[in-house]
């Protein structure tokens, strides 16, 4: 090592110190070319001779504090303390040597080795060099940072967790996940396929920033960031507020001013903007089919992430009954009739402050219902609702009267050859009469005042004979005329 030096001693051998670094084969070639051969040490006298020969050429000191100070995916920055202003350096790695000049100024020496492979371990040997004489050298192992994970994304989230996913780098690479000022170590994965990691105990409807580092031998990659949000809370108080034959109005409580909504039904989606102000939200869904059941699912939405959703079933009101009418009435009952809608629709009949439930009809044909225990000669208003799953139609109504009571005291009060005077007691001031005889009808208005009513019937000469006969028998005088209250 070092320059060529020739030293002669009293012994029979001469030793020459050549300071130029050589391989063993090259050193042998140089010695055989310029001298005799490589030196052979056979006894202590030879050892003493060699030591005396090299004593005037001390090897330079090794650099101290040789370390890696920074690294990324393709480079490692090495650092060491300078020896002095006259000492340069040689850096060996991967079978190559790099000469590094004597540093200027004070402070440590920095040298960056570039064009390296990510996530790889390298051994570096540093020699201090003074007048071409090298120190014994110092070695360190250092690694490049691994590549960042690719495909870093949120694969799933709910109200309290986010599942992150990324592609593995290789079997030697672990990971560190940073968020909210915390770090989580994630072991190198087994097997193929993406890596999945679920971050739990999060706050609903909140935005988080995650930074993922690949780690190789405690060295982190530069990191890749991902913003991701948790799903918002479901809306509370989701309900059907009202409905008619073609629409349903839905209502729910807002989550907050940053949360919008999506309403799903019948394979369609409606976007509902985030609310302004306080109070519940109402949405009317139009163009629906009467008497039909719908399932509505409401999602809260925060930054395009949906909540798990809440569902309700609601129905439109059925169509009103057609053909609602009174088919028959007497003094104490009215029979109502209407056309059925379908076999799933029942009815509610309202009158006089009462409600009567009427079951779904069997068979075809109109529905008939008789209302009993009514008061004679009284008007009633009947309201009929069709009912489907407890939802009523808008209703139809009719006003119908019971038949009045028959007039009492109906009798002939006087007769002569051409007339009969009939008499009866009035019913009340609202009741008029119809008198039938001989195939004719005579309308008699509601009476004024109190007392019995009188009606004179006049007859032809031929009729007079018959009447006399009838009156004499005392039979047909009361049966040939019929009196109706109306």
Q: Establish how many alpha carbons lie within 13 A of residue 71's alpha carbon, considering only the half-sphere containing its beta carbon.
A: 27
pTM of the predicted model as reported, rounded to 2 decimal places: 0.65
Q: Is the pLDDT of residue 309 over 70?
A: yes
Q: Establish how many alpha carbons lie within 13 A of residue 357's alpha carbon, considering only the half-sphere containing its beta carbon.
A: 7
Given the structure tokens 């593995």, which residue do they identify?
168
Residues 357 and 330 grouped into a single domain = yes
Whether 39 is in a domain gets the answer yes
Residues 396 and 460 grouped into a single domain = no
Whether 60 is in a domain gets the answer no
CATH number at residue 243: 2.60.40.10
Confidence of residue 467 (pLDDT cuts 50, 70, 90): very low
Q: Of 90, 123, 143, at which residue does a domain stop?
A: 143
pLDDT tens, position by position, 105-156: 888 999 999 999 999 999 999 999 998 899 999 999 999 999 999 999 999 9
**Of 196-200, 433-437, 459-463, which range is least confident?**
459-463
Residues 127 and 194 grouped into a single domain = no
CB atoms within 10 A of CB 249: 16
Total structural domains in the chain?
6
Q: Is the pLDDT of residue 1 over 50?
A: no
pLDDT tens, position by position, 327-376: 999 999 999 999 988 888 899 999 999 999 999 888 788 999 999 999 99
pLDDT of residue 478: 38
How big is the CA angle at 186 (ends 181 and 189), to the nearest 5 degrees? 155
Confidence of residue 9 (pLDDT cuts 50, 70, 90): very low
Residues 361 and 340 grouped into a single domain = yes
How big is the CA angle at 249 (ends 235 and 320), to the nearest 5 degrees? 150
What is the arithmetic mean of pLDDT over 269-276?
92
**Of 111-115, 183-187, 255-259, which range is least confident?**
255-259
Residues 111 and 175 grouped into a single domain = no
For residue 131 the two structure tokens come to 């007048």
Secondary structure in 3-state letters for 360-397: CCCCCCCEEEEECCCCCCCEEEEEEEEEECCEECCCEE
Direct distance between the N- and C-terminal alpha carbons of the chain, in angstroms, rounded to an integer? 144
Q: Of 195, 229, 263, at which residue does a domain stop?
A: 229
CB 410 within 8 A of CB 434: no
Rounded distance between C-alpha atoms, residue 474 and residue 284, angstroms? 76
Whether 318 is in a domain gets the answer no
Q: Which of 466, 377, 477, 365 is nearest to 430 (CA)?
A: 377
DSSP 179-222: ETTEEEEEPPPPSSS-EEEEE-SPPTT-EEEEEEEEEETTEE-S
Give percent of the chain with pLDDT exceeding 90. Answer: 65
Confidence of residue 3 (pLDDT cuts 50, 70, 90): very low
Q: Is the pLDDT of residue 480 over 60?
A: no
Rounded distance between C-alpha atoms, residue 382 and residue 324, angstroms? 10
Whether 435 is in a domain gets the answer yes
What is the arithmetic mean of pLDDT over 96-107?
90
Burial class (CB in 10 A: 0-12, 13-18, 19+), 182: exposed
Pairing mode, strands 293-302 and 305-306: antiparallel
Residues 427 and 382 grouped into a single domain = no
Residues 139 and 158 grouped into a single domain = no
Given the structure tokens 């039909």, which residue do they identify?
292
CB 317 within 8 A of CB 394: yes
Confidence of residue 278 (pLDDT cuts 50, 70, 90): confident
Confidence of residue 95 (pLDDT cuts 50, 70, 90): very high
pLDDT of residue 56: 58
For residue 170 the two structure tokens come to 């290789």
For residue 481 the two structure tokens come to 């005329």
Q: Is the pLDDT of residue 294 over 90?
A: yes
For residue 92 the two structure tokens come to 């060996």
Rounded distance between C-alpha atoms, residue 58 and residue 301, angstroms? 77
Whether 319 is in a domain gets the answer no
pLDDT of residue 147: 96
Whether 251 is in a domain gets the answer yes
Which region, left, alpha or beta, applies to residue 44 given φ > 0 means left and ψ of -120 to 50 means alpha?
alpha
CB atoms within 10 A of CB 169: 23
Q: Which of 373, 377, 374 is nearest to 433 (CA)?
A: 377
Q: Is the pLDDT of residue 54 over 70?
A: no
Q: Is the pLDDT of residue 242 over 90?
A: yes
Residues 249 and 224 grouped into a single domain = no
Give, in order, the Cα–Cα distances in Å from 365 to each of 361, 397, 441. 9, 20, 35
Residues 430 and 476 grouped into a single domain = yes
Residues 133 and 183 grouped into a single domain = no
Q: Is the pLDDT of residue 21 over 90?
A: no
Secondary structure in 3-state letters for 119-167: CCEEEEEEEEEECCEECCCEEEEEECCCCCCCCCEEEEECCCCEEEEEC
For residue 361 the two structure tokens come to 């009809």
Whether 431 is in a domain gets the answer yes
- DSSP 8-state code for residue 459: -
Q: Of 336, 367, 401, at which residue does a domain stop?
A: 401
Residues 164 and 138 grouped into a single domain = no
Q: Is the pLDDT of residue 470 over 70?
A: no
Pairing mode, strands 109-113 and 138-143: unpaired
Q: Is the pLDDT of residue 89 over 80?
A: yes
Domain extent for 207: 153-229
pLDDT of residue 14: 75
Average pLDDT score over the chain: 87
């Amino acid at each position: 090592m070092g320059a060529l030096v020739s030293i002669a001693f009293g012994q029979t051998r001469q030793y020459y110190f050549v300071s130029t670094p050589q391989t063993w084969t090259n050193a042998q070639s140089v010695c055989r070319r310029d001298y005799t051969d490589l030196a052979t040490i056979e006894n202590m006298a030879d050892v003493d001779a060699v030591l005396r020969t090299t004593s005037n050429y001390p090897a330079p000191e090794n650099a101290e504090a040789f370390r890696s100070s920074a690294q990324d995916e393709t480079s490692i920055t090495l650092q060491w303390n300078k020896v002095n202003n006259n000492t340069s350096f040689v850096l060996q790695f991967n079978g190559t040597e790099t000469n590094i000049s004597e540093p200027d100024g004070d402070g440590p020496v920095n040298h960056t080795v570039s064009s390296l492979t990510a996530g790889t371990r390298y051994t570096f040997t540093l020699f201090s060099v003074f007048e071409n004489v090298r120190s014994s050298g110092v070695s360190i192992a250092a690694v490049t940072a691994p590549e960042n994970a690719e495909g870093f994304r949120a694969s799933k989230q709910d109200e309290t967790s986010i599942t992150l996913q990324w592609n593995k780098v290789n079997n030697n690479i672990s990971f560190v996940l940073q968020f909210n000022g915390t770090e989580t170590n994630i072991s190198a994965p087994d097997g193929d396929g993406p890596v999945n990691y679920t971050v739990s105990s999060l706050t609903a409807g909140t935005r988080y920033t995650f930074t993922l580092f690949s780690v190789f031998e405690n060295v982190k990659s530069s990191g890749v960031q991902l913003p991701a949000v948790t799903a918002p809370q479901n809306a509370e108080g989701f309900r059907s507020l009202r409905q008619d034959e073609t629409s349903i109005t839905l209502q729910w409580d807002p989550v907050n001013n940053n949360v919008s909504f999506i309403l799903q039904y019948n394979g369609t989606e409606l976007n509902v903007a985030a609310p302004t102000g306080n109070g519940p939200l109402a949405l009317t869904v139009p163009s629906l089919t009467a008497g039909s059941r719908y399932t509505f699912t409401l999602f809260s939405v925060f930054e395009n992430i949906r909540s798990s959703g809440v569902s309700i079933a609601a129905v439109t009101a059925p169509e009103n009954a057609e053909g609602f009418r009174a088919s028959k009435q007497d003094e104490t009952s009215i029979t109502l009739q209407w056309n059925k809608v379908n076999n799933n629709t029942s009815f509610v009949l309202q009158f006089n402050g009462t409600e009567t439930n009427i079951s779904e009809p069997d068979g075809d044909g109109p529905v008939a219902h008789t209302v009993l225990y009514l008061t004679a000669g009284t008007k009633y208003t009947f309201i009929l609702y069709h009912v489907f799953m407890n939802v009523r139609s808008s209703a139809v109504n009719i006003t119908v009267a019971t038949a009045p009571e028959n007039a009492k005291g109906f009798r002939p009060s006087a007769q002569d050859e051409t007339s009969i005077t009939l008499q009866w007691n009035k019913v009340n001031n609202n009741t008029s009469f119809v008198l039938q005889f001989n195939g004719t009808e005579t309308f008699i208005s509601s009476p004024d005042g109190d007392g019995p009513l009188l009606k004179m019937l006049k007859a032809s000469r031929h009729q007079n004979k018959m009447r006399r006969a009838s009156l004499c028998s005392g039979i047909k005088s009361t049966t040939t005329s019929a009196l109706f209250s109306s």
